[in-house]
Structure 1
Amino acid sequence: MDKLALTFELSYYLWGLLTLTIPIAIHLLSKHRGKLVPFAHIALIKVKNSPQLNQARLTQWLLLILRLLMLLVACAILAQLVWSKNADTSANLVLVSNDWLAQSSDAEKQQLFEDLNSSQNSRLFIIDGLNQSLSQRKLESKALLAFQGDTSSTTTPPLNIWANLAEISKTLPKAQKIQLYTTNRLNQFTGQKVAITNPIEWHIKSLPNTLPETKLTASLTIVSDANYQQQLLYVRGALDALATTLPLDLNIEYLDSSLVQEDLDLSQQQSHIIYLADAPLPTELVNSATSIISSEQLQGYTQADFPLTLATKLFAAQTKQWFADNARLSNQQITELPNLDLVNQQQTNTGNAQSLHLWLILILVILFMTERLLSEWPNKHSRQVEGN
C-alpha cells in the first residue's frame, strides 16, 4: 500500500524556524507600559474601555500571527517541501525478464509462484523495455504457470536490464529492495552499466553455451573484369577456406562487368555483390538495399587473415546476432555496478514526489499582502476619525 507524506528535501534549512522568535520578541517588548501616576479629582470618574483600543489589540495579534506564518512558509520554501507518494518498503517487489520466463522450467515457475503467495505484500512485474511504466508491466502471480515461452528459439529481443532497473528505482524509496529474475544471456545486458541506488537481490539463471544450429547464408554475385583477375583468385581462395571451416550455405554467381548493364535486377536476386572492376556501378544498384563490397573495402588480398576480412563483410550481421543471443556473462559481470558515489548527490529518491514550491510562494505572497493591508488599517482609521 502506498504511503502519503510531506517531506523536506533540504531539511537543514529548517534551522530558519529560529527566526520565529524575532516577531514574538518584538511583540513582547512593544507591550512595555509606562509608570502609572495617581492624579486627584478623577478617582470617581468611571473608566470605559475604548473600542479603538480593543481593535488595536486584535490587530496586533493578527499581525503577529501573519508574520509568524510568513516566516514559516519561507522556511518551507527553502527546505523544499514536497508531497511524496512512496511505495511501502515492506512490499516484496519482484521483477522478471521475459527471457527468464521463456527459459525457466515449470518447477522454477512453481517455486517463484509459491514464494510470491507466501509473502503478504508481493508485486510482480515483467521487464520488457523502457517504453512502458511499471504499472503497465504488472503480472499476476497466477499467470506465471500459464506463461509459455518459445524455448526452441535462442533469439530474444535485446535489453539493457541495468538501465531498466535504474528507471524503476527512480519511482521507489532508496530502502526498497528489488528481487530480479533474469538470465546470463549477453543480449539482456546490451549497453553501459548504470549505478542503482536500491539494493538488488539477483536470481540469475545460467544458460548453457550453444553452437550455431543453422548455417551462415549468403547470395553472392562477384562482378569482375580483366584488370582484377588476380584479386578474383584471392577472393575464390578465401571463399573456399571459409567453406571448409564454417557452416556456410553460399549461392555464388560470377559475372563479367560488361554484363552488369544488361542485368540490373541483381539487387533483387542477391544479398551481396563483390565488385572488382573499373567501370562505375549503375545507379540502380548503388541506390538499392543490396550490400555492395568494392575492391577498396577488401584490402590485404595476400594476407593470411584475408578470409576473416571477407567473412566479416559477408556475415557480420548474422554473426553479431548469434553472438549476442548465445554469449554468456558471468554473475560477477552482471552484479558489479558502478560506485554509487558517482551518482549525482542532488538527485532525490522520494518516490512520486510532487513539489509544493509554487503553491508555497503563492501563499507567501497572499500573507504578505494581507499583513501590509492590516498594518496600514489602524493609521487609515485614525485619520478618518480625526477628519470627522
Structure 2
Amino acid sequence: MQFVEPYLLWGALAVAIPIAIHFWHQKQGKLLPWAATQWLTESQQQQSRGIRLDNIFLLIVRCLLLILLAILLAQPILNWFAKPPAIQRIHLVQPSTSVTDNFRFELSEAQKKGEQVVWADEQLEPVSDQLTLPQKPSDFSPLRLQTAINKLDAKNTELHLYITANQDLASVPAITVPARFRLHTMPDSVTQPHGYLTAKGGKKLFINRAGKLTSSPTLDPTLRYQSAPAHSGTVATLVTYRNAQERQTVKAALAALADVYSLDLTVDERPVPNRQYELILTDQLPRKPSKQTLYIVSGIKQPIPFDNVIFTNETLTPQTSERVETGQLPEWLGEQFLTYYGLSKSKKSLSQQDLKALFVTSAKPNTQQEAGLQNALLLVFVGLLGLERWLALTRNA
C-alpha cells in the first residue's frame, strides 16, 4: 500500500491520548471509610495489584478511530493486485534544427529501437527518420511544452526531453513532468546570430560579449552576428505631444541617446508627407499602426494589442514620471528601440540548478482506485465512531 501524503501517518501517534486519558480517569476515584467493612471476611475482599484496565473494548475502539483517521488523511492507494504497467519511453523534441543536429545520434538510436520520437507541440507530430522540422512549426514556448507533456500518460511514460536551455523557459514558475524523466539540454548562446545597427561615421551598434551596448567600427569577433544590419541609415523619428514640456523632455532624451551611441536620428515634430517613420513617440493612440514603425505611446491607461506599439501610463515629464525625474528616460527609450530591432542582450543559458528547480516531477495516482479505497475506509470510520458513542453512553465512560 502506498500513500499520497505519507508524512500524515505520524498523526497515528495520537493514539497515546485516549490511553493516557483512560489511566488518568481511573485515578480520579477516592477512598471513603465504610463502617461495614469490618464485617467482610477476608475471602470476600479482593486485592488489586498493578494496573487494572476498565472498559478495555471502548479503549481499543477509540485507538482504532485515531489510527484510521491518520490513514484516511494520508490518502492510501491500494496496488497489491495491480499488474506493473508497461513503461513506454517517449522522446519529446523541441522543433529546432540546432536541437536535432546536436542530438541526432540519440534520436536516431531511439527510432531504431522503435521508441516514440515526437515534436514538442500540441499535435505531438512524429519526427521523421531524416529529423526534418514540421512543415508549419509552431513557436516553441513553456506553455506549449507543458501542453504537450500533459497529453502524455504520465504514469506509464519515461519521458526524454530535448530542448535548448534558454531563459525563455523560466518565464513560468514550473513545468510539471512525469516521475520518470530525463532532460537533455544544450546551450542557446551560439544558435542564433546577434543583430546590429549602423551608426554615424561608419560605426556599428551592437551588444558585445560582456552584454554592453557598444558603438564601434568593427563587430565583436568572438560572437556571431547577422550578415546584414537590422536597420541601416537614418532613423526617421516623429515626436508629437500635445504637452510642450513632454515634447521637449522626449527630444532631450533622444538627443542624449543619439550622442552617446552615435545613432543617426532625424526628429520631426510634425509629420512630413510621404516620409516613412521608423520611430514615433506620441501621447495619442495610432489609428492605423504601420508594421514598419515602432510606436511609444505615453499617458494611455487602456493599451491596444499591437506588437509594435509600446504603452506607458505615465506622462513623460519630471513632475509626473519617476523615470524622467531619475534620468532613466534615455536608457528606457534605448531599450525599447534595441529590443524592437533585435539588439537586446543575449540570453544566458539556464544552469543545471535552475533547470532542476524548473522541472517538477508529479506522479498522479489512479483516482478511481484511490476514491474507492478511501470511501470504504470512511465507512469503517463512521461505523467505529457510532460504536464508540454507543459504548460510551451505555457504560457511562
Q: TM-score, normalised by structure 2?
A: 0.45
Structure with higher RCO (Cα < 8 A, 6+ apart)? 1
Higher-Rg structure is 1
Answer 1 or 2: which has greater helix percent: 1
